[in-house]
Amino acid sequence: MKTGFIGKAFAIMLTLAIFFSVAMAQSSGSLKEVKIKTTVTKQDSKDKIETVVDLLKGVKETNLKIEDKMLTVKFDPKEISSAMIVYTINTIGYDAEVMEEKDCVETTSTN
């Protein structure tokens, strides 16, 4: 009898924890957008940088244009900084420099 009560109490606590985690994540606010100048000249380098940066915690979107060697990254500043993104790019063998950083409005679609 006590096991049933403890199990139900645990399930309720877990449900509440998940609910509040999701609510906090949704209201955690604004993203930042950074434009980073790189030394990319080839498609495979572009793919490598986008893949590695996409894997960083807090990065929401990446887009690297080979024509102007500019990487645009949308990220959550509570989880990662633009300096850490640049450091990561440098670590995998490419030069990178922040050209612009600004707040961006996160768009959400309603289906």
Domain boundaries, the chain: 1-29, 31-104
**Mean pLDDT for the chain?**
81
User: What pTM does this model have?
Assistant: 0.69
Q: Which amino acid is at 82?
A: S
β-sheet bridge partners, residue 64? 71
Contact present, 95 and 105 (Cβ < 8 Å): no
Look up the CATH number of domain 31-104. Answer: 3.30.70.100
Query: In the prediction, which pLDDT does 98 show?
Result: 96
Concatenated DSSP letters for 69-107? Answer: TEEEEEE-TTT--HHHHHHHHHHTT--EEEEEEEEEPPP
Q: How confident is the model at residue 22 (pLDDT cuts 50, 70, 90)?
A: very low
Per-residue model confidence as pLDDT tens digits over 35-67: 999 999 999 999 999 999 999 999 999 999 999
Q: Which two tokens stand for residue 65?
A: 């244009």
